[in-house]
Structure 1
Amino acid sequence: MKHSIKVRLIIILITLLSATILFSWVINKVFLEKYYESYKINRLGDTYTKVNSKYDADNISALSLGYEQLASKQNVSLYIFNGFSYSGGIILQTLFPTNMNEIQNRRLQSDIIEYYKKTLPNEEEVKSEKEATRLLVKTDKYSIYRHFDTRLEVNYIELYGILDAGDKIFIRSNYDNITESAMISSTFFAYVGVVSILIGSIIMYVVGVEFTKPILKLSQMTRDISNLNFDVHYNGKRQDEVGELGHSINVLSEKLEDTISSLKSANNKLKKDIKQKEKVEEMRQEFLSNVTHELKTPIALIQGYAEGLKDNIQGDEESRQFYCEVIMDEAAKMNNMVKRLLSLSELEFGDSKVQFDRFDIITVLNSVVGSMNMVYKQKNVISKMSDIKSCYVWADEYLVEEVITNYISNALNHVEEDSNGEKIISICVKKSNSIVRISVFNTGQPIPEEAIERIWDKFYKVDKARTREYGGNGIGLSIVKAIMNSLNRECGVKNWDNGVEFWFELDTKA
């Protein structure tokens, strides 16, 4: 996970969040106080404009309440007066507020017279030696200063101006409140920023995990498909790029499976062709020899009984009926043998097309056993099968079904009671890596060791009398061997103390 998209996404998102919060904090720290100052200056100017628009010196008492409300809303101190004298430093008359006591009146007079002493002679010399007073805004009607009160050690923003009626106006707002508010705001913003980064980190982690989860799933799908496991499919409902990629992988998987199936069939056919060219002549000769041998007995029987009928050796109806049944039975056996020989010939000479598909072998086993259920009951055979729900293999389903049918038919023909008096046919399915082995076991007599290698030969019979009894002709296991050769897989037989086990193997992967 060194270069994990999830980790990089989380780091990028947290970095962006932290940078945004830090940038906002710096802006707040650097510019908030200046913004407050500009805001206060505008408030003072707005207050002056509102007072000047409605001012009437002769009706000041009627306006008093409105001015108090205005000063409260604007968070300022508002004073109106109509003149002063340098000689005694006394303002002649304070028009507003009307409820000032003597101490407040004198203190206000002192501040305003000090201002006019500084500013009237020369407006440019407004600043003191220690920058106690600084001009912020100057118009033809008023001037706004930032003033430090050395007695109270408090900063103010103050407006000194002349109303249109000729009276003077003094408006004051506490500037230290602005500085304190800016500091509180910056500190609070810093705490909020830290908490936001912590909460944001958790959210970004959850978002990163959810964002990369479908990508990791698609990555696992591609790994499974690269190992030729086509059972995986993307089933998401997303309509974005991830969903489109998932559906594209599904299409790729299906096409790849079809292509591999075609290649498997083509490759298998090529292998068969190579082997077939080497064995064709030998197999033809062997085939003719065995057919001649196997057909000789039934043909002789048919010929003998037919001549008996012709010569009317046994004149009664029952004897003629018996002769006809023997002829029909032998003819049927010959017909069945010819059909099976034709099937075997197609397999051995490559005339039969092998189509590789992926199917569930358990379903095929259940189907074959189900079709033979009546024979199981007639012979009182106990059927056992591995407890496996499903197992997918690559092979020709029709040919594999033929192998299973031959194995189970062979087991039914040779099953005998064991030491417990039970006739058992057991079907076992075992997986090992990319191979699955299917075996069919029946209780009974083991096959003689000298016959083990020959039971796959055409027309070979271990017990000829018993084979003749159930109508066998020694071709079934030859067909099994031919089918497994056509599939390029192994088959075999194993003796046990209480019976015989026939097995074959198939691929579980392409």
Structure 2
Amino acid sequence: MRHSIRRQFALIFIGLMAGTIFLCWFMNIMFLEQFYIRSKTEIIFEAYQSIRQAANSDTYSTEEFRQELNEVCGVYNITIYVMDVYSNVKYASANGGSELERKLMSYLFGFFPDVIKVIREGEGYQIQKVLTGDNEYLEMFGRLSSGISFIMRTPVESIRESVKVANHFLAYIGVAATLTGGIIIWLVSRKITKPILELNYISEKMVHLDFEAKYKGAAHNEIDLLGENINKLSLSLEKSISELKTANNELQTDIKKKEQIDEMRKEFLANVSHELKTPIALIQGYAEGLSEGINDDPESRNFYCEVIMDEAGKMNNMVQKLLTLNQLEFGNDVVAMERFDITELVRNYVQSAAILTKQNAIEVYMEEYPPVFVWGDPDKVQEVFTNYFSNAVNHCSGKKIIVITLEQKEAQVRIGVFNTGETIPQEALPRLWEKFYKVDKARTREYGGSGVGLSIVKAIMDSMNRQYGVENYNNGVLFWFELEKV
């Protein structure tokens, strides 16, 4: 990432470190030589102090004095020559001190053959830079009040060599330190920016409404405090969005329910108007016939009255079913779940319907099933079975056989009602459960069906959250429903 905080953090610190090292290297180049020269000047001056102290105390002939000067010459690369008032050598360093005798004599007599630059002057001494041929030296000479003369010299080139070596060494160390420090800073910045990247990941998840990711830092610093606050914000947002979604879902449900109610109301009015139109017309027609006395014989009057009563009964039956369906669909009819024997319920109904099946010359088959206890509303379950059995009786044809089955599964019992006869067209199967839908309207009218029975089945089974359905066979149709087995 081009603008990542980790990269910026590392580059800033690497840049600061490299800049600091470069500044040190630059300062060495510019000022280290002068610093060395000042240091050498101070060292030479200290050696001068030792010579003067030895001259004042008349100890320059002792071994301690020689040993002290030898140490100075060896450590600081200084050449020293000392003579008394009679020009006798009192000390000449082993690294060429005797060669300075001629130069000291020329200086004492005021003869300066070389190019010089005076650095410091004092009572009885002078410190100067001397250019002799291609060589440059830092020198100090003078004569003390006791008559002792001295000269000290150190090559400037050795100072320059030391500065050059020091600068090269610092450059190498600087490069190595920059590379090593860069790697360390990169690793440290990675550790520091890791929780920030984790927070960025969490915030990105929150943008997409994913609140599962949580900050898990344990450094107990400001970033962890920010992470804890983001976790709290995540929980708060998740709760708020959940509440909003719940409210929105309820609103959508209410809207859909209202639309469904409006649609059902329109459909109900249209279907009821259509279903009631025929029986009302028949009742009106036959009532007018009776009123006008079209047929005066008792048999005709009885026939007219039977038609009127039959149509009125059909209308009353349809209205009762519509009221039942209305209560089921709008949740006004409470489902009372009970434990009961479905085998006994089915067998009792089949026995009570024996007269109806004999009148229609229908044979009913049901095996001797053992008691099977299920959970459900017994009254509503009986209404479902009654609708299935009534449909089977009204549509039974061919061999005119009805078969009742109880199929036990792991946790359910499937009750089936099969009747021989014509199968239901495939395109009509999904619509069987709609109110007032009739596959064969003429036949339904013939046996007084209203097209509401299977809608009641659907509403009852939905209220108990159980499955139901219909299947075509080669020789008939099977309607089934399932109940939870105890």
Q: Residue 333 of structure 1 aligns with which residue? A: 378
Offset at residue 274 of structure 1 (A)? 2.9
- Aligned AA (2:136): N
Q: Residue 462 of structure 2 aligns with which residue? A: 478
Between 74-83 and 55-64, report the one with greater CA deviation.
55-64
Return the match for 1:176 from 140, 157, 169: 157
Aligned residue for 1:135, secondary structure, equals: strand
Q: Residue 466 of structure 1 aligns with which residue? A: none
Question: Equivalents in 2 of 1:93, 1:481: separation in Å?
Answer: 131
CA offsets 1:299-337 (integer angstroms, 9 cap, x no match): xx99xx9xxxxxxxxxxxxxxxxxxx9xxx999624999
Question: Equivalents in 2 of 1:496, 1:244: separation in Å?
Answer: 68
Q: Does the 8 Å CA contact 1:452/1:493 hold for their aligned counterparts?
A: no
Q: Does the 8 Å CA contact 1:160/1:171 hold for their aligned counterparts?
A: yes
Offset at residue 177 of structure 1 (A)? 0.9
Question: Equivalents in 1 of 2:16, 2:44: separation in Å?
Answer: 40
Q: Residue 159 of structure 1 aligns with which residue? A: 140
Q: Residue 110 of structure 1 aligns with which residue? A: 102
Q: Does the 8 Å CA contact 1:159/1:172 hold for their aligned counterparts?
A: yes
Q: Residue 41 of structure 1 aligns with which residue? A: 41
Offset at residue 269 of structure 1 (A)? 1.9
Larger Rg: 2
2:253 counterpart of 1:272? yes
Structure 1 gaps of 5+ residues are 85-91, 120-125, 306-324, 339-377, 382-407, 416-445, 458-471, 483-490, 498-510
Offset at residue 180 of structure 1 (A)? 0.7
| Larger RCO of the pair (alpha carbons < 8 Å, separation 6+) | 1
> Equivalent residues in 2 for 1:127-142 (5 A)?
132-142=115-125
Q: Does the 8 Å CA contact 2:137/2:154 hold for their aligned counterparts?
A: yes
Return the match for 1:72 from 62, 71, 74: 74
Offset at residue 212 of structure 1 (A)? 3.2
Q: Could you state the TM-score of these two structures normalised by the residue count of structure 1? A: 0.54
2:35 counterpart of 1:51? no
Q: Residue 93 of structure 1 aligns with which residue? A: 88
Structure 2 gaps of 5+ residues are 269-318, 336-344, 353-370, 384-406, 417-423, 436-455, 474-486
Residues 449 and 199 of structure 1, relative CA distance in 2, 3 Å threshold:
same
Question: Equivalents in 2 of 1:261, 1:212: separation in Å?
Answer: 32
- Aligned AA (2:122): T
Residues 208 and 179 of structure 1, relative CA distance in 2, 3 Å threshold:
same
- Aligned AA (2:85): G
Q: Residue 290 of structure 1 aligns with which residue? A: 325
Offset at residue 235 of structure 1 (A)? 1.2
> Equivalent residues in 2 for 1:238-277 (5 A)?
238-277=219-258
CA offsets 1:165-196 (integer angstroms, 9 cap, x no match): 34222222232211111111112222222333
Q: How many residues align?
A: 333
- Aligned AA (2:104): I
Question: Equivalents in 2 of 1:331, 1:94: separation in Å?
Answer: 134
2:430 counterpart of 1:452? yes
Percentage identity across paired residues of the two chains: 23
Aligned residue for 2:61, secondary structure, equals: helix
Offset at residue 475 of structure 1 (A)? 4.9
- Aligned AA (2:179): L
What RMSD, in angstroms, separates the aligned Cα atoms of the two structures? 4.8
Residues 456 and 480 of structure 1, relative CA distance in 2, 3 Å threshold:
farther
Offset at residue 256 of structure 1 (A)? 0.7
Question: Equivalents in 2 of 1:149, 1:83: separation in Å?
Answer: 27
CA offsets 1:472-497 (integer angstroms, 9 cap, x no match): 97556524889xxxxxxxx9999999
Question: Equivalents in 2 of 1:227, 1:496: separation in Å?
Answer: 49
Between 180-189 and 72-81, report the one with greater CA deviation.
72-81
Aligned residue for 2:216, secondary structure, equals: coil
Q: Does the 8 Å CA contact 1:133/1:146 hold for their aligned counterparts?
A: yes
Return the match for 1:83 from 82, 85, 101: 85
Question: Equivalents in 2 of 1:108, 1:475: separation in Å?
Answer: 128
Question: Equivalents in 2 of 1:156, 1:31: separation in Å?
Answer: 18
Question: Equivalents in 1 of 2:210, 2:157: separation in Å?
Answer: 75
- Aligned AA (2:90): L
Question: Equivalents in 2 of 1:477, 1:335: separation in Å?
Answer: 9
Q: Could you state the TM-score of these two structures normalised by the residue count of structure 2? A: 0.56
Q: Does the 8 Å CA contact 1:57/1:165 hold for their aligned counterparts?
A: no
